[in-house]
Structure 1
């Protein structure tokens, strides 16, 4: 039954959550803005265009900041809600009336669990839709300058690479494509072209969703029999159209840790991509398993934090807050250490164990701490 006290606790938690989130996010934005102000001003002479760009940039950036702060904000909101209740001596009358401590903080836990659902929603629907290129290329947001290209394998086994790319023109310079013999009509084919332009996929257009190569070498392919199902279509005079399943210009211009912005379904596709480097596979696997355990990790952190506050109800509120922050730091150090030990260079833990080990270690500890709360 949802009582008046429960509604009050939920309202207090939401207020604390909004205050903590806006405070931390605002602090991060102000510091980041002043550090990178020179990059924002590059090429923007009037104040209106600068203000417009900054607002759009931090509109996208806010999704990333929320993803980094979510567990900490959930814990802080729960901590301040319960601590403020203790400070106002609202908990003691309830205990005297026979209401258990765990029943009193039950709305706080339910709110914390619901807010961890926002983390999943942001990961699946928020981060995949932001302009990652703008976040990582403040001086070249329009894509008019050349950027480095990272070669990758298409889902059909074709390797695509280049020296540099101009995003605005969808152009890759010094383009290289290696076609396996399964798709190259019995022999491996390698094509090199000074330039190749990506043609976005259009419904009903056979020459879309791939790369248009001009002045390529070799200019012709001996014994090549044209077919509508082939990934490569010779057009004559050294021109070719290379059809790709999943490799577009954005794939070649991926930023650092690009896989953290993918939804889980796309992350699984990347794990299945043929000929992936072992280092990349390890990072992808760690990211996938970490994503699976993230809501559980957040819940464990909240249980431990509330247990620290409720264990000694006579403790000063600031001491309780400090102990919670120390607990949060230790907890995340343990998580990041496990993730580091699963990297390919170290390879002490498997990707699955690196994600589940904090749950297996801190989960029982959180349950014991919560069960020992005085009631």
Structure 2
């Protein structure tokens, strides 16, 4: 049953949460813009276009920044709420009524779990839906730049190549697709070659409309069986290529950390396809599993500094909480970066993501146990 004290604490928590959300993300945006402003102004663009590009770029970056700062935001909101109670001597009044300080922490912990649910929704639904927008560079927000595409896997047995790829026009020039044999005995051997002067993405048919000179050339044997043997190619006119990669996928794969913005379902599909090393997928998947847990552990590590029954200087307690949680955040970040370094074992590759939880979980329990109620 929700009591008056619970409603009071929850109102204060969510007010502090919104304030911390606005301040921290705004600070993130301002610092990033200050460091990278020159990239937005490259090419002598009109001032109105620069402002539009900045707004468009950071509008889609906000969900990504939220996923990175969610644990800090929750920690600030909970500790700020408890610090306010101490400053107003409300903790003494609660203790005088026979209520434990852990009773004060309970609604804040529940609220922390709820906002961690927002993090999961952000990572599993929102970020994958805007992943192509996140792949844009600061100096090409409009997508006007033309790129080369070489040897990008398109399905299980195809390599997609293009001399020019335009994200803005959703098309390519100089298309070359290499198809290898599906026969297990000739795995990896060339079977077909598709070439086209131009190709335009067809969203309705989920493939590429081939334009200009376009041919499919089949080998006479369905694969190269003898090294050094000349290959006889049989040309065949073709006007459509049912590729698995859309222009958004091609743009996304140009980003260094593109798999970080995929959902767990997409990561499972990617791991099954073998398009990227398994350890890279493990890095993202186990980081996704551990992040909400780590956020709650950091919350439990920071709150005990504000649950003391004896009046203490709030700034001193805040400094202790800041140092303790900052060290934990840094070690966790290093652990997330180390995941996937071990190429030989899936278990060893996943261990660094879970190590901060094994280390800081007991520390959080010790800190909570040391609270005098």
TM-score (norm 2): 0.84
Which residue does 1:286 correspond to in 2?
Answer: 283
Which residue does 2:147 correspond to in 1?
Answer: 147
**What is the CA distance between 1:65 and its match in structure 2?**
1.3
Which residue does 2:193 correspond to in 1?
Answer: 191
Show the 5 A alignment for 1:244-283.
244=243, 246-253=244-251, 254=253, 255-274=255-274, 276-278=275-277, 281-283=278-280
Show the 5 A alignment for 1:313-332.
313-332=310-329
Aligned to 2:199, what secondary structure does the other structure show? strand
Q: 1:356 to 1:134 in 2, by over 3 A?
A: closer
**Which one is further off, 345-354 or 105-114?**
345-354
**What is the CA distance between 1:359 and its match in structure 2?**
1.8
**What is the CA distance between 1:215 and its match in structure 2?**
4.2
**What is the CA distance between 1:91 and its match in structure 2?**
0.4
Aligned to 1:105, what secondary structure does the other structure show? helix
| Mapped partners of 1:18, 1:307: distance in 2 | 22
Which residue does 1:334 correspond to in 2?
Answer: 331
Which residue does 2:166 correspond to in 1?
Answer: 166
Tell me if structure 2 keeps the 8 A contact 1:171–1:197. Answer: yes
Aligned to 2:177, what secondary structure does the other structure show? strand
Aligned to 2:352, what secondary structure does the other structure show? helix
Which residue does 1:57 correspond to in 2?
Answer: 57
**What is the CA distance between 1:358 and its match in structure 2?**
1.9
**Which one is further off, 254-263 or 158-167?**
158-167
Which residue does 1:308 correspond to in 2?
Answer: 305
Aligned to 1:51, what secondary structure does the other structure show? helix
**What is the CA distance between 1:123 and its match in structure 2?**
0.9
Asked whether 1:106 is paired with 2:103, we answer: no
Which consecutive residues of structure 2, in runs of 5 or more, have no partner in the other structure? 223-233
**What is the CA distance between 1:290 and its match in structure 2?**
1.2
Show the 5 A alignment for 1:98-247.
98-130=98-130, 132-133=132-133, 136-149=136-149, 151-182=151-182, 188-191=190-193, 193=195, 195-202=197-204, 208-210=206-208, 212=210, 215=213, 221-222=219-220, 235-236=236-237, 239=238, 241-244=240-243, 246-247=244-245
Which residue does 1:229 correspond to in 2?
Answer: none
| Mapped partners of 2:45, 2:190: distance in 1 | 52
| Mapped partners of 2:8, 2:301: distance in 1 | 23
| Mapped partners of 2:142, 2:350: distance in 1 | 39
Which residue does 2:364 correspond to in 1?
Answer: 366
**What is the CA distance between 1:148 and its match in structure 2?**
4.2
Aligned to 2:301, what secondary structure does the other structure show? helix
Task: Note the aligned Cα RMSD (angstroms).
Answer: 3.1
| Mapped partners of 1:303, 1:149: distance in 2 | 48
TM-score (norm 1): 0.83
Tell me if structure 2 keeps the 8 A contact 1:293–1:356. Answer: yes
Q: 1:177 to 1:287 in 2, by over 3 A?
A: same
Q: 1:4 to 1:355 in 2, by over 3 A?
A: same
Aligned to 1:373, what secondary structure does the other structure show? coil
Deviations 1:293-336 (A, max 9, x none): 22111111100110233257433212222222222221122222
Q: 1:154 to 1:46 in 2, by over 3 A?
A: closer
Which residue does 1:75 correspond to in 2?
Answer: 75
**Which one is further off, 138-147 or 291-300?**
138-147
Aligned to 1:179, what secondary structure does the other structure show? strand
Matched positions, count = 357
Equivalent in 288, 293, 298 of residue 296 of structure 1: 293
Aligned to 2:307, what secondary structure does the other structure show? helix
Q: 1:184 to 1:122 in 2, by over 3 A?
A: same
| Mapped partners of 1:134, 1:300: distance in 2 | 29
Which residue does 1:227 correspond to in 2?
Answer: none
Deviations 1:65-100 (A, max 9, x none): 111111011011111111111111110121122100
Which residue does 2:348 correspond to in 1?
Answer: 350
Which consecutive residues of structure 1, in runs of 5 or more, have no partner in the other structure? 225-232
| Mapped partners of 1:303, 1:84: distance in 2 | 18
